Amino acid sequence: MIPLCIPQMSGNEWKYIKDCLDTNWVSSVGSYVDKFENDFARYLESKAAIVTMNGTAALELALRTVGVGEGDEVIVSSFTFISPVNTIKYVGANPVFVDVCRDTWVMDEDKIEELITSKTKAILPVHIYGNPVNMDKIMDIARKYKLFVIEDATESLGAIYKGKKSGAIGDIGCFSFNGNKLITTGAGGMLVTNDKDLAKRAKYLSTQTKTVLENGAFYHEEIGYNFRMPNVLAAMGCAQLEKVEEYVKVKLEHSTEYNNLLKSVKGINIPTQKDDTINVNWLYSILVEEDFPLTRDELINKLKENGIQSRPFFMPIHNMPPYIDCKHGDMSVTNSIGVKGINLPSSVELNKENIKKICKVIKEC
Ligand SMILES: *Cc1c(COP(=O)(O)O)cnc(C)c1O
């Protein structure tokens, strides 16, 4: 079976984790936590980075850090993994769903302004499947209405928008190191920001708002959270991060190969890459149009029969029971791509022969 997306352990993972076990620094403070934060901030060209126990925690922490709370509204795509939408609810706020672009499948910046009200506090763009959102437009809107921008960059590590790393453009960017992401710590996340005050506040909230008094006692001025990542996982993160540039290069080779083999197949739409951006194609994805001989689900079965794992696109969140009553604009693109899209195998370890085999099965339909 060619799997959808599995991690690769080919660097210093064992060595650094062993170091934690040998020295007994296994828990939530330690040199690898500091190193992972510093190395990640440097890679992102961002001023600060704060580790969290997963990407969802990073998103919740981001919302709490900028002060989104009870009754506020946050504008978010409905075409996304559900995590960012859930975190809006965790802090007592309400998601307001905006449609996505027909070509890039990310938040449609032209449909945002009509959804802004006096309750709107933030915009939460998701760089879906590794394709950057049009951040210039989003930042302009945010400035005009004094809103925060929290980037869900969990799928776009390595993607570039106008020379900047995806995730390092908004007020805060959030990353995930779940097992299927470009680099992994098993479970883990990171919050990045260029604002020193937001960085300080995020670290404070994520570590139980702990102030250590002169006599060593813990004092807490407000309610805090334990969103920390243990040193032993940060060690794995340091090793994975050493490979990130190599992984990004391989991913771009894979998407070029996929694009070349699929671009002339009738009824298949390949991913778009806008000028001035690099789509890292975290999950290389296609749309199955009406003039393709098989339906989307039939193609998924056909791939499965040939030992190839694939997955249908995220279903629109605004149609899911917990969110059915939430405010949204015109959702025509979200509704249509949700039933057409497929994620194809996208592991770093994939080789050209695998990609040829996958594309051959699709062509032969
Ligand atoms: C993976 C992912 C997350 C965070 O996932 P965790 O499992 O909590 O690390 C958030 N948003 C999107 C779009 C994702 O794909």
* Structural domains in the chain (count): 2
pLDDT of residue 46: 98
pLDDT of residue 82: 98
Strand 172-176 and strand 148-152: the pairing is parallel
How many other CB atoms sit within 10 Å of the CB of residue 276?
Answer: 12
- 235 with 249, same domain: the answer is no
- 62 with 152, same domain: the answer is yes
Q: How far is the CA of 24 from the centre of ligand 1 (A)?
A: 30
Q: Tell me whether residue 71 is in a domain.
A: yes
Q: Tell me whether residue 6 is in a domain.
A: no
pLDDT of residue 238: 98
Q: Which of 181, 203, 243, 251 is catalytic?
A: 181
Confidence of residue 44 (pLDDT cuts 50, 70, 90): very high
- 137 with 235, same domain: the answer is yes
Q: Which of 133, 152, 175, 181 to mutate to test the pocket of ligand 1 (most atoms within 8 A of CB)?
A: 152
Distance CA 174, CA 101 (A): 22
Torsion-angle region of 105 (φ positive above 0: left; ψ -120 to 50: alpha; else: beta): left
pLDDT in tens, 317-338: 999 999 999 999 999 999 999 9
Q: Which of 4, 52, 81, 233 to mutate to test the pocket of ligand 1 (most atoms within 8 A of CB)?
A: 81
pLDDT of residue 147: 98
- 270 with 206, same domain: the answer is no
Mean pLDDT calculated for residue range 241-257 = 98
Confidence of residue 218 (pLDDT cuts 50, 70, 90): very high
Q: Tell me whether residue 2 is in a domain.
A: no
- 229 with 292, same domain: the answer is no
Q: Tell me whether residue 38 is in a domain.
A: yes
Write the residue with the smallest CA distance to atom 5 of ligand 1.
55
Last residue of a domain, one of 198, 225, 241: 241
Ligand 1: lining residues by beta carbon, under 6 Å: 54-56, 80-81, 83-84, 126, 152, 154-155, 176, 178, 189
Is pTM beyond 0.75? Reply is yes
Write the residue with the smallest CA distance to atom 9 of ligand 1.
55
Nearest to 72 by CA among 113, 124, 32, 12: 124
Q: How far is the CA of 267 from the centre of ligand 1 (A)?
A: 30
CATH number at residue 330: 3.90.1150.10
Q: Tell me whether residue 1 is in a domain.
A: no
pLDDT of residue 75: 98
90 beta partners:
none
- 130 with 179, same domain: the answer is yes
Burial of 287 (0-12, 13-18, 19+ CB in 10 A): buried
User: Average per-residue pLDDT in the chain?
Assistant: 97
Let me know: does 362 contact 262? Beta carbons within 8 Å: yes
- 226 with 258, same domain: the answer is no
How many other CB atoms sit within 10 Å of the CB of residue 216?
Answer: 6
What does the block give as tokens for 96? 């307001």
- 172 with 307, same domain: the answer is no
How many other CB atoms sit within 10 Å of the CB of residue 67?
Answer: 12
In ligand 1, which atom is closest to the CA atom of 188?
A: 9
Q: Tell me whether residue 5 is in a domain.
A: no
Any catalytic annotation for residue 18? no
CA distances from 159 to 100, 107, 128, 278, 285 (A): 18, 16, 11, 5, 15
Q: How far is the CA of 266 from the centre of ligand 1 (A)?
A: 33
- 74 with 159, same domain: the answer is yes
How many other CB atoms sit within 10 Å of the CB of residue 24?
Answer: 9
Distance CA 176, CA 156 (A): 10
Q: Which of 4, 53, 56, 177 to mutate to test the pocket of ligand 1 (most atoms within 8 A of CB)?
A: 56
In ligand 1, which atom is closest to the CA atom of 178?
A: 9
Q: Tell me whether residue 7 is in a domain.
A: no
Let me know: does 148 contact 173? Beta carbons within 8 Å: no
CATH number at residue 169: 3.40.640.10
Which residue range forms the structural domain that includes residue 210? Answer: 13-241
Q: Tell me whether residue 360 is in a domain.
A: yes
- 76 with 52, same domain: the answer is yes
pLDDT of residue 341: 97
Q: How far is the CA of 195 from the centre of ligand 1 (A)?
A: 23
Last residue of a domain, one of 211, 241, 271: 241
- 178 with 298, same domain: the answer is no
In ligand 1, which atom is closest to the CA atom of 180?
A: 1
Q: How far is the CA of 363 from the centre of ligand 1 (A)?
A: 32
Q: Residue 289 corresponds to which amino acid?
A: E
Mean pLDDT calculated for residue range 71-96 = 98
Contacts of 238 (CB under 8 A, 6+ apart): 12, 16, 32, 35, 36, 39
- 110 with 224, same domain: the answer is yes
Q: What is residue 132's DSSP assignment?
A: P
Last residue of a domain, one of 194, 226, 241: 241
Confidence of residue 175 (pLDDT cuts 50, 70, 90): very high
Let me know: does 126 contact 133? Beta carbons within 8 Å: yes
Q: How far is the CA of 227 from the centre of ligand 1 (A)?
A: 15
